């Protein structure tokens, strides 16, 4: 549409949201679709967090909130960074936003000039590249594969750096691959970054607690990285609070100040009730959400077992988040039920049509050989979905 801006015309629709919409449409036609496309815990928000939100309503938290978040929420975030990550972020270094997605968008808008390059180890979270492009930055994808457990090596990082490199963005545990960088691997990347002091890092740690190996490492805590890292986190995944839309960042004070300025002209402070409830969530001991982590761990093992029985699925062992990211390129070039499978998008559409299971093409995450399957679904649904996929193939 030429009445619309180039900005929006050039933007890709979120593939995960598009797949969810397609699944909803098919359900509307009476089809029994199992949705394994969304990155959303299938648990309810724990009751103690709901109670905090109800109390906030009764206490009339109804006015505009401070743009960068309530002071006591920022204090709770600061304590959380210290408790979980051994990171010292003062209140002037923290900004609360409407989801980690907004934290990321704020960072891009305040850090990037036209043409600045942002290194994205691929596969990466679906929105990174479009957020970067919206800020007129240039995403530079660094492809990885199962051979390196979908992790970028120091050599690959070095090779991707140019005089225009401004930032590197990554998530660990990773959406979509579930890969977790250990300390040694991060230190390897840091050795390269040390030679290029102008490059900043966005460390998206929103899956930090959904880690089956334990021992989450924040790159900001590695020697030399604190002043050049922005640590992004939120309550969507760990506390099943996706719809309540609270995310936050910790970073250099000048970044926080700029993000606050930008947010102040854009959306203002995040939802007041959700912020109050987030204080309670972040102050709770991790033991309160351990049941979710244990359940995801069990399901990870189950889905790996089940998918392992399907010929042509090549899998890594994801150590965190709640996704598997099988390489299904062995199906490319085949024709099944009259449908030629040319790429991962064809494959995902094939599964939707003939297995009634919604997944997401890896192309959206910068990896054209894979599909992403979310196992944030009940064991019964997972068993049924995988048996349908097996039958359809
Ligand atoms: N970062 C990653 C890696 C994600 O997977 C997601 C959600 O899918 C987000 C950020 C966005 O989280 P929020 O709901 O806080 O905006």
Domains, the chain, with CATH or none: 6-44+289-392 (3.90.1150.10), 47-284 (3.40.640.10)
d(CA 281, CA 370): 35
Q: 122-161: per-residue pLDDT in tens?
A: 999 999 999 999 999 999 999 999 999 999 999 999 999 9
Position 22 pLDDT exceeds 90: no
- In this predicted structure, the answer to whether residue 230 has a pLDDT above a threshold of 90 is yes
The response to whether residue 216 sits with its C-beta less than 6 Å from ligand 1 reads no
Per-residue model confidence (pLDDT) at position 14: 76
What is the strand order of the sheet 247-250 is part of? 94-97, 247-250, 229-234, 200-204, 165-171, 117-122, 138-143
How many angstroms is it from 337 CA to the middle of ligand 1? 36
> How does residue 20 score in pLDDT terms, banded at 50, 70 and 90?
confident
Regarding the beta carbon of 234 and ligand 1, being less than 6 Å apart is answered: yes
**Residue 11's pLDDT band (cuts 50, 70, 90):** confident
Lowest mean pLDDT among 14-18, 86-90, 301-305: 14-18
Relative to the CA of 102, which ligand 1 atom is closest? 16
Distance in Å, CA 73 to ligand 1 centroid: 20
Distance between Cα 242 and ligand 1 center (Å): 9
Q: Where does the chain show beta strands of DSSP type E?
A: 34-35, 94-97, 117-122, 138-143, 165-171, 200-204, 229-234, 247-250, 323-324, 335-336, 339-340, 357-358, 360-361, 371-374
Predicted local distance difference test score (pLDDT) of residue 55: 98
Query: pLDDT value at position 24?
Result: 87
Full-model pTM? 0.96
Pocket test for ligand 1, best of 121, 236, 249, 372 (most atoms within 8 A of CB): 236
Mutate to test the pocket of ligand 1, among 40, 96, 101 (most ligand atoms within 8 A of CB): 101
> What percent of the chain has pLDDT above 70?
100
The pLDDT value recorded for residue 15 is 75
Cα(100) to centroid of ligand 1, in Å? 6
pLDDT at 248: 98
Evaluate if residue 256 carries a pLDDT over 90: yes
Cα–ligand 1 centroid distance for 364 (angstroms) = 15
> Residue 245's pLDDT band (boundaries 50, 70, 90)?
very high
């Amino acid at each position: 549409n030429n009445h619309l801006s180039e900005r929006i015309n050039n933007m890709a629709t979120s593939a995960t949201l598009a797949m969810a919409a397609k699944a909803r449409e098919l359900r509307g036609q009476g089809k029994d679709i199992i949705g394994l496309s969304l990155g959303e815990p299938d648990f309810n928000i724990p009751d103690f967090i709901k109670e905090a939100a109800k109390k906030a309503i009764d206490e009339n938290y109804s006015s505009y909130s401070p743009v960068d978040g309530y002071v006591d929420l920022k204090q709770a975030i600061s304590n959380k960074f210290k408790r979980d990550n051994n990171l010292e972020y003062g209140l002037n270094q923290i900004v609360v936003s409407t989801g980690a997605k907004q934290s990321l968008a704020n960072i891009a808008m305040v850090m990037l000039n036209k043409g600045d390059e942002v290194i994205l180890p691929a596969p990466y979270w679906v929105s990174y590249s479009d957020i970067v492009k919206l800020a007129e930055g240039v995403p530079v994808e660094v492809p990885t594969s199962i051979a390196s457990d979908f992790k970028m090596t120091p050599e690959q990082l070095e090779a991707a750096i140019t005089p225009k490199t401004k930032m590197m963005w990554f998530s660990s545990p990773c959406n979509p691959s579930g890969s977790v960088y250990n300390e040694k691997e991060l230190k390897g990347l840091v050795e390269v970054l040390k030679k290029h002091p102008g490059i900043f890092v966005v460390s998206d740690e929103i899956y930090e607690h959904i880690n089956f190996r334990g021992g989450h490492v924040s790159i900001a805590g590695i020697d030399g990285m604190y002043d050049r890292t922005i640590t992004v986190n939120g309550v969507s995944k760990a506390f099943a609070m996706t719809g309540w839309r609270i995310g936050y960042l910790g970073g250099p004070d000048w970044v926080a100040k700029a993000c606050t300025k930008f947010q102040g002209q854009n959306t203002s402070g995040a939802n007041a009730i959700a912020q109050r409830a987030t204080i309670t969530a972040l102050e709770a001991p991790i033991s309160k959400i351990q049941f979710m982590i244990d359940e995801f761990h069990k399901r990870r093992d189950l889905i790996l077992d089940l998918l392992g029985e399907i010929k042509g699925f090549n899998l890594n062992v994801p150590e965190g988040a709640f996704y598997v990211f099988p390489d299904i390129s062995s199906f490319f070039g085949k024709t099944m039920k009259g449908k030629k499978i040319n790429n991962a998008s064809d494959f995902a559409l094939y599964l939707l049509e003939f297995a009634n299971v919604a997944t997401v093409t890896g192309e959206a995450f910068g990896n054209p050989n894979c599909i992403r399957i979310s196992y944030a679904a009940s064991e019964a649904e997972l068993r049924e979905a995988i048996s349908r996929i097996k039958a359809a193939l």
